[in-house]
Structure 1
């Protein structure tokens, strides 16, 4: 009988929240592109001539992994999300296993619920400047010589600027960080996103929606895309007109931010889903009244005796 000899690293829920709230590695778009090119360049070098023979979907999935990892050195996109590049999960697994065997990524796993089981994977890029910090923070058992050399090289050229007196984490989803003063400070520091900052958002996402999210939470393409996906799911269920979808999403996002200013929201996706659902329902009723003169809000149903 086969037994599993490799112990998997499990990331606790509190640890993962801290990882998400850590500040970004780059300060501008140019630095972000340089980090992405560096991560992708190492992968291309590992594949050698095989890189050009890979399917377009495989190369696109790897490119997106590198892009998502530039911000904090890790990516937690699900396999279902990455297979949207027209590749199978088996093909994606082969690519991820190749990167892991070559010592380019370290795979950890989020804890599944409150059980001692592994959940979704988190891909940590070993050559990213923050990997040395994640090694210490997560107590990773990194013993490979190549990995150790990469970590040593990064420690000589990149400073994480971690001071024991300063907490490097920010409570991104707590009411305090969403107070009026914090929003005002961001605008005074010229951190309001410009059109060029949002160029690398998918074209199907409304720029105003991305701008509002960026002002309050920072630019995170994966989260913006997830909220936009929730919006379209609820809009499809409510059967509202396409031209009203963006309006529903922007209004709901503003409502979410307003609620987070006064109370702590444990799951912003679930909370946002409920807000969007109610808003899409209201829009559907308005469309029915405007188009057909039918006011369904006044209908009353009685159960026959």
Structure 2
């Protein structure tokens, strides 16, 4: 491809009037394509993706969104920067990084004011339409050869100095079957070989098991697990419980991710984080309910667990409907809902839940002080 490919007015008119690659009523198709574009971009930025400002990530998401139908974007960096209140240089730098990694290919429209280059047009190389666009515009684009690819020229063999040296290798390297490593079936009671990568702010035990699988995603997954851990005010669960339960949650995420890949589907980081937070809340509540209900029979314990898990829902409804309620009013309202909704529980069981209400509430201490003032 030439350094600056100029797109004529007729060519550009043809591109903008192409039929969308996905029917307009196929929302799932659009969502799948958007996630595939975003996943490729996240893979380019790596850990830096989560260090970017929210406005910068939203700008990149906007670039993906307007490229879904026909595989290219011709919005100017000035327009994108002003839309999301970021610097124009930030947009230029992001586009440059994506071009260097072969995610985007750049061409220019013909200028209306002079006989030169006009506004830039960026094409997504992983879009289904790109092969057709590449042939139509004669871009001549080919994937860049990586530095670790083998050269096409045959190697010149070098003889050994002594015949005895050829019988013994100087260095024995361990063999690694990549296909076999992709199909690792994680077991919570079997330690996996530690990965060379180490994700910051994640415990060593979790890193050893899952750093090589989730890579940069592990930091966000663990952040959601610890966020759920902090929302539950308790004193019976210790760090060892957090590690054990967090490891099981990561294992479940990996199993779901593996099933999706088997069905040619993707699982984004946001979906992994949502799954991790929801699973963590359920796991921690179940653990606490099991601890406090050891003295009850199985049916009573099951009902008490359902009552405890319904407390956050009752609190959210109460705070949305009654904005002037303080913490004690919320507690009284939720207690009334529990007594009405779980009438089959014994009064002793309900009293025990209400007496230990501060263990199950999702209202943080700072928020409680505000509600009480």
- TM-score interval for Structure 1 and Structure 2 normalised by the shorter chain: 0.3 to 0.5
TM-score by length of 1: 0.45
Greater RCO, 1 or 2 (C-alpha within 8 Å, sep 6+): 1
